[in-house]
Amino acid sequence: MILNALCSYYDRCKADLAPAGKEIRELHFIIVINRDGDFVRLEDCLVQNTGEGDKKRTKKSYKKFVVPMSVSRTSAVKPNTLWDNCSYALGLCEESFVESPSEADLKKISKCALCHRAFVDEVERVADVNSLPDSLTPLRLFLKKSTSEIVEAMRTDPLWDAFCKMIKTANVSFLVDGEKTIVAEQNFGLGEHDEVRPHEEGSSICLVTGHKTIPQRIIEKATPIVGSQAVAKLVSFQVNSGYDSYGKSQCGNAPISEEAAFKYSTALNTLLGKDSKNKTFIGNRTFLFWGANDSQAANATEDALRALFGEGEKVDDPNAQIYKVIDALKSVVSGIQATMSEDVFYFLGLAPNAARIAVVYWQEASVKEFAANILRHFEDMQIVNNAKFPFAGLYSMLSAVTLGGKVKDATPNLSEAIMKSILSGGQYPRQLLLNCIGRIRADADLEGFKRVSATRAAILKAFLNRLNDNQLKIKNMLDKENVNPAYLCGRLFAVLESIQYSANKSTNIAERYLSSASSTPVYVFPNLLNLSVHHSAKGGWGEKAKTEIINLLPPEGFPVHLDTEDQGRFFLGYYHQKADNMKLNQNEAEQAE
């Protein structure tokens, strides 16, 4: 299913992806030569990009070219076709410029020479099968020169120092002076490394296409995910390791045609690429998401996931994008944006592994179902909010439940569980509730609205509303009909805090009693009510609100103990009442003006 879905992404984006046997690759330098094979100049492929939302931050990116697909390399010497790193393309490495090379340096220089020889042989091989025999002549003449002769010519170039600084990592190709296309982008009729397959394997039914074909023996590598090796593969079978069953070797156990292997590996590389907007990182996990079709509904769902799992742009109102996404999702769910039966959406979770990519999560559903689940999360996280900051995204949720708002300190299990709850529409993890209440208690030196922030209140509301679908739902704002004792206790505490502030501009009861009142109300509220008599000697709104709430409490009075869920209801009642108090104060101020 996963390979099929990746192939569908390739078919959807075929116009923007590399054709068969090719890949889109960043090159760092182009070596320009003349028709006699002499060095002319270096061309830098660097393009400066400014990071969105932060003018001080810049990231380096380089021009991209459609080049022959790269080979899977371990310790063996295997050259790419007509492009490669400096060791292969030029026979140069950092150790080549050491004045007194050590024995280890000499070994690396020797290995570098072998790599360059293999690259030269690969150019000769392509030239032998090329229908235009003279097209590679300048490059062949250039490569016949000794390494020292090439270095001597290149030293005079203004970009030589910059080139030397990147000699370990730079990928290069060649351009004949006067031509517009580098040699690696020209079609020489052999863009792939076709390997001879053993005859005994024969043909098999491709698992992806269903057609009978000779299976590809070794699947091309994928772009490495976070923490994975550079040669990590999604599908592979190791020789003589217990996987050679039924007389079949390597990928004969899971036959995949060459066409399907290229499609899914190219799609996976594209989704994992650094410019991809269809991926997110959660801990050491990499998550990819895409729609099978390029429909408005699928694009709206992709936008929703970016807003949900992304870090968010630094703008005045970061919730604005979320509200746009909510409107788009509503149109998908309601049918305003029509979806077809084949309009499917995919979500894939990958984890680093030694040599293979581990699949840790996979979900396939209709676009409408995905949109409905994401929309439900946004609706569950809606709360009365007097400030402009995001509260519905994964990063803002994790920031609210970690010390100092450091998302990187959140446990991978928690972030993964939240993500799965959002996508499946199921209950949020209990650890989210525990962490949220724990942070509210730990931030005892902060003011009430900072301790029980909009994000934390939204988390509590969302968790409790999904805990039991049959229970009365907690509303986005103050609910005077909610007679849950814990919710009423939270409301009452906010009223008592407001009464104290009106009397002496102090809110120290929140600093001293909020945590204990949320767990053992019966031991705290009698004392607070006695103190409030002195604070509200003149009567007024506070006394009326206090009496109204107390009258709603059960006959037995304040609860002796509140469990974890009821502590969440306490803090929600506290937040709702404070938000309502603030709105009331603003209205009074406007009337006074």
**Would you state the structure tokens that stand for residue 41, as one six-digit string?**
């100049």
- DSSP codes joined into one string, 175-192: EETT-SS-GGGS--S--S
The 3-state DSSP class for residue 495 equals helix
Q: How, if at all, do strands 358-366 and 22-26 pair?
A: unpaired
Q: d(Cα 337, Cα 335) in Å, to the nearest integer?
A: 5
Q: What is the pLDDT along the chain (593 residues), one digit of tens a residue?
A: 898 999 888 888 888 888 888 888 899 999 999 999 999 999 999 986 544 444 444 567 899 999 998 887 777 899 999 999 999 999 999 998 888 889 999 999 999 999 999 999 999 999 888 766 677 899 999 999 999 999 999 999 999 999 999 999 999 999 999 999 999 998 776 544 444 343 444 677 888 888 887 777 655 555 555 555 455 677 766 556 555 556 666 667 778 888 888 888 888 888 988 788 888 888 778 899 998 888 888 888 888 888 888 765 554 565 666 777 788 888 888 877 666 556 889 999 888 776 677 888 899 988 889 889 999 998 899 898 866 666 788 888 999 999 888 888 888 789 889 999 999 999 999 999 999 999 999 987 776 667 899 999 999 999 999 987 666 789 999 999 999 999 999 999 999 988 888 777 776 788 889 999 999 999 999 998 888 777 665 556 778 888 899 999 999 999 999 999 999 999 999 999 998 888 776 665 555 55
Taking alpha carbons only, the member of 289, 331, 337 closest to residue 310 is: 289
- Number of Cβ within 10 Å of residue 335's Cβ equals 10
* Alpha carbon 99 to its chain's center: 45
Q: d(Cα 177, Cα 95) in Å, to the nearest integer?
A: 30
pLDDT tens digits for range 108-148: 999 999 999 999 999 999 988 876 667 789 999 999 999 99
Task: Determine the length of the chain.
Answer: 593
**Would you state the structure tokens that stand for residue 335, as one six-digit string?**
């049918």
Q: What element of type H or E holds 526?
A: helix 521-535
Query: What pLDDT does 194 receive?
Result: 42
Angle among Cα 516, 522, 523 to the nearest 5 degrees reads: 55
The 3-state DSSP class for residue 15 equals helix
SS3 for 102-132, per residue?
Answer: CHHHHHHHHHHHHHHHHHHHHHHHHHHHCCC
Query: What pLDDT does 469 receive?
Result: 63
Q: What DSSP character marks residue 214?
A: P
Identify the residue whose tokens are 């009693």.
Answer: 513
**Would you state the structure tokens that stand for residue 306, as one six-digit string?**
């970016």
**Would you state the structure tokens that stand for residue 142, as one six-digit string?**
């250039």
List, in order, residues 6 or more apart from 75 with CB less than 8 Å away.
Answer: none
Query: What pLDDT does 572 receive?
Result: 95
Angle among Cα 517, 518, 522 to the nearest 5 degrees reads: 50
Query: What pLDDT does 286 receive?
Result: 87
Query: What pLDDT does 472 receive?
Result: 74
pLDDT tens digits for range 523-536: 999 998 888 777 66
Backbone angles phi, psi at 513, to 5 degrees: -120, -10
Mean pLDDT, the chain, integer: 83
pLDDT tens digits for range 356-375: 778 888 999 888 898 899 99
Q: d(Cα 352, Cα 224) in Å, to the nearest integer?
A: 8
List, in order, residues 6 or more apart from 347 with CB less than 8 Å away.
Answer: 287, 288, 289, 305, 361, 362, 363, 364, 370, 423
Contact 564, 433 (CB under 8 A): yes
**Would you state the structure tokens that stand for residue 252, as one six-digit string?**
């004969």
Overall pTM > 0.95: no
- DSSP codes joined into one string, 234-268: SS---TTSS--GGG--GGGGS---HHHHHHHHHHH
Q: d(Cα 261, Cα 4) in Å, to the nearest integer?
A: 10
The 3-state DSSP class for residue 232 equals coil
Query: What pLDDT does 89 receive?
Result: 95
Termini Cα distance of the chain: 65
Q: What DSSP character marks residue 14?
A: G
* Alpha carbon 202 to its chain's center: 41
Which whole-number Å values give the CA distances from 553 to 474, 559, 564, in the listed order?
A: 18, 9, 20
